Amino acid sequence: CRQYTNRSCEECLKNVTCLWCASSGRCVEYPVRRVLPPADLCELRSARWGVCWVNFEALIIAMSVVGGTILIMLGVCCCCCCKKKSKKPDKDDERAAREREKRRVRQEERRAEMKSRHDEIRRKYGTV
């Protein structure tokens, strides 16, 4: 990487292990053990890696905005899904309760009908 010092950013960044420092015009080895280059090596606003038109500072801001937006969207989606799921069982419960009530009413009607038939039969044969 040092051989590209004082040349151009494009030449330096052809090698993916290199980092271009725009303020000093140096091409240095990217410190792979660290996520961000240390300030004594190159300031974030002057550091270029991968492409010459994006500095680390802008990259960090952009990734933070994109990441925050994704997290907010996931949160909204989770809230919407949870609300829909909690409403759906309520409707199902109401429907099931109505069905149970209908069955209970029909059963009561059948019981009353059977009781009247039995009473009729008892009167007919005089067992009442």
Q: Could you tell me whether strands 26-29 and 18-21 are parallel, antiparallel, or unpaired per DSSP bridges? A: antiparallel
Would you state the pLDDT for residue 66? 95
| High-pLDDT (> 90) share of the chain, % | 26
What average pLDDT score do residues 89-116 get?
90
Q: Write down the mean pLDDT value for the chain.
A: 85
pLDDT confidence of residue 103: 96
Domain extent listing, the chain:
2-81, 87-125
- Given this model, what pLDDT does residue 86 score? 56
| Dist. CA 43–CA 21, nearest whole Å | 8
Q: Please report which confidence band the pLDDT of residue 84 belongs to, taking 50, 70 and 90 as the band edges.
A: low
Nearest-angstrom CA–CA distance, 73 and 112: 59
Check residue 38 and report its DSSP letter.
-
59 secondary structure, DSSP code: H
Read off the pLDDT of residues 5-54 as tens digits, 9 standing for 90 and up: 778 888 888 888 888 888 888 888 888 777 777 888 888 888 888 888 88
Angle at 9 between CA 8 and CA 13, to 5 degrees: 125
- Please tell me the predicted confidence (pLDDT) of residue 68: 95
Which of 69-78, 84-93, 104-113 shows the lowest mean pLDDT across its residues? 84-93
Q: Where are the alpha helices (DSSP H) in the chain?
A: 9-12, 56-125
**The pTM of the whole model exceeds 0.75:** no
Q: Token pair for residue 82?
A: 């949870």
